[in-house]
Structures are given as structure tokens and as C-alpha cells.
Amino acid sequence: MSIIKVKNVTKRFNDKLVLDNINYEVKEGEIFGFIGPNGAGKSTLINIMTGLLTPDSGTIEVCGYDILKEPIKAKKCIGYVPQELALMEELNALTNLEFFGALYGLKGKLLKERIEEVLKITGLEEKKNKK
């Protein structure tokens, strides 16, 4: 099964053609990387795939859901790890875990258990109240 399907995606900024009819599929269990020089359009494509930008034409399916037609369902299937540190620096470790756990739909006892587990794995139990 393909978890990502990119079909005929085209994007222009003003008159500049940035993505020219991009097509690919990524199957479940596959590790797929795309590389290219600065300005090649990698970030533009990632933004389109995650529903942050709309393509001029073409479609994207994530886990079988069209990112534009069923964005919530498609986005539930996406885990995005940006280049920058993906933490709220003004919050302590515990609150960060509560926040990100909640984004993934965890709450109550399960959220608490998972936070304890993660603090243990990372050796941060003693530092959970530190930023």
C-alpha cells in the first residue's frame, strides 16, 4: 500500500515554475528521501504535502486521504520532524510532553503513563520541571 501518492503536482510563485509535474509514491515501510540544491523546491513540496500550501494543480494523498479534501484525516497520519528543535522552549520538559501528547490524542491516565515512560527512556525524570 502507498502511504504517500504525489500526482502531477505543479506550483508557481508569481510566474516562476518551482514544481514541474512532480510524481512519486512511497510505500508502507519504505524510507524515501529527496534531495536537491538550494531552491530546488523541496520545502515547497513538503509544505504542499502537509497541507500548508496549495498546489496549482495535481493531488496529494496521505494514507489514502486527499490532503486538501480530508486534511484532518490525512494530517493524523503525518509525523513531521523539522530541522529546528521541535520543542516549546518556554515550557518545561513535563509540559512539553503534555502538550505534544495531547496533540496525538492522549489524555488522562494514558497520557501520564506515556510521559513517565518517555522521561524514563530519555533519563530526564529528574529534570522534568526544567525548561
Ligand X SMILES: Nc1ncnc2c1ncn2[C@@H]1O[C@H](COP(=O)(O)OP(=O)(O)OP(=O)(O)O)[C@@H](O)[C@H]1O
**Where does this chain bind Mg ion (CB under 5 A)?**
42-43
**Nearer to ligand X (CB atom), residue 44 or residue 96:** 44
Residue 26 CA to chain centroid, in angstroms? 15
Report the alpha-carbon distance of residue 53 to residue 47 in Å, rounded.
5
Phi, psi (5° rounding) for residue 47? -65, -35
Q: x/- binding map, residues 20-49, to ligand X, per CB under 6 A? A: ----------------x-xxxxxxx-----
Does 82 bind ligand X (CB under 6 A)? Our answer is no
Identify the CA nearest to 80 among candidates 50, 105, 104, 51.
50
**Nearer to ligand X (CB atom), residue 84 or residue 90:** 84
The footprint of ligand X (CB under 6 A) covers 13, 18, 36, 38-44
